[in-house]
């Protein structure tokens, strides 16, 4: 694998999808804890899946504006390696979660135009990584996983003090172009490797990871 290329397969809901991601060479596997999402999993399901993930693959829990009660339960019951905050969590809340749970935190930031980069910058001092996603439409039910991309030129070839991960509308057909244009070496995909909402396609997962590694 080229140095530094890391791929996250998000929204895994069952053993078949998880096994496909692992066998294809995923570096991160993501579990979604958001009831409105077709990729939502229960803590019980995630616990059973997480114990089958080999060492060296990061298990990421995606949450949306979760309170401490839920996060206490999640972190106590599921062997996760990273929390992904995909809601309207402020920089202060992000720092609070990182301190409380002692886990690396990835903050998702939606980008539609250059003004959104100011929001991204506000998290650089408190998050361990930033997931740069397409900003959802105002009427969208989901904060991510909508299959939308943004103008990758907005973040192209800039230097960042912490790792960034590119998300939003990525597919096996465009991931290589997206990485070349942005200079980012980490990518995240969910709907782009599905045959139906929430249903991961093993062939698309393998194609996506191969394309990213090229």
**Is 133 part of the annotated catalytic residue set?**
yes
CA distance 34 to 142: 9
| Number of neighbouring beta carbons within 10 Å of residue 187 | 28
CA distance 96 to 80: 18
Which of the following is catalytic: 133, 173, 188, 203? 133
Q: What is the model's pLDDT at position 137?
A: 60
Q: What is the model's pLDDT at position 2?
A: 43
CA 134 to chain centre: 12
> Strand pairing of 199-200 and 186-189?
unpaired
Give percent of the chain with pLDDT exceeding 70. Answer: 93
Q: What is the model's pLDDT at position 148?
A: 63
Q: What is the model's pLDDT at position 153?
A: 87
Question: How does the average pLDDT of the chain come out, rounded?
Answer: 92
| Ranges of each domain in the chain | 6-213
Domain 6-213 fold: TIM Barrel (3.20.20)
Which of the following is catalytic: 10, 27, 128, 173? 10
Q: What is the model's pLDDT at position 142?
A: 56
Contacts of 76 (CB under 8 A, 6+ apart): none
C-alpha distance from residue 100 to each of 39, 91, 103, 159 (Å): 26, 14, 8, 29
Q: What is the model's pLDDT at position 184?
A: 94
| pTM across the whole model | 0.92
Provide the CB-side half-sphere exposure for 70 (13 A, CA). Answer: 13
Q: What residue ranges of the chain have pLDDT lower than 70?
A: 1-3, 137-148
**Is 113 part of the annotated catalytic residue set?**
no
* Residues recorded for the chain: 214
CA distance 71 to 122: 23
């Amino acid at each position: 694998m080229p140095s530094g290329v890391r791929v996250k397969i998000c929204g895994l809901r069952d053993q078949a999808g998880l096994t496909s991601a692992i066998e294809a060479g995923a570096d991160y596997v993501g579990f979604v804890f958001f009831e409105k999402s077709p990729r939502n999993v229960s803590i019980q399901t995630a616990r059973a899946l997480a114990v089958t993930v080999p060492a060296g693959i990061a298990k990421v829990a995606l949450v949306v504006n979760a309170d401490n009660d839920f996060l206490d339960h999640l972190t106590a019951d599921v062997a996760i390696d990273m929390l992904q905050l995909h809601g309207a969590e402020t920089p202060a809340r992000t720092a609070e979660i990182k301190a409380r749970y002692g886990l690396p935190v990835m903050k998702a930031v939606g980008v539609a135009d250059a003004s959104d980069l100011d929001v991204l910058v506000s998290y650089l001092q408190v998050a361990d990584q930033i997931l740069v996603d397409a900003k959802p439409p105002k009427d969208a039910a989901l904060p991510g996983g909508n299959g939308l991309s943004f103008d990758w030129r907005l973040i192209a070839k800039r230097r960042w003090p912490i790792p960034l991960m590119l998300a939003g509308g990525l597919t096996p057909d465009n991931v290589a172009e997206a990485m070349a244009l942005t200079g980012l070496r980490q990518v995240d995909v969910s709907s782009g490797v599905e045959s139906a909402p929430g249903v991961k396609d093993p062939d698309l997962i393998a194609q996506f990871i191969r394309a990213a590694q090229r």
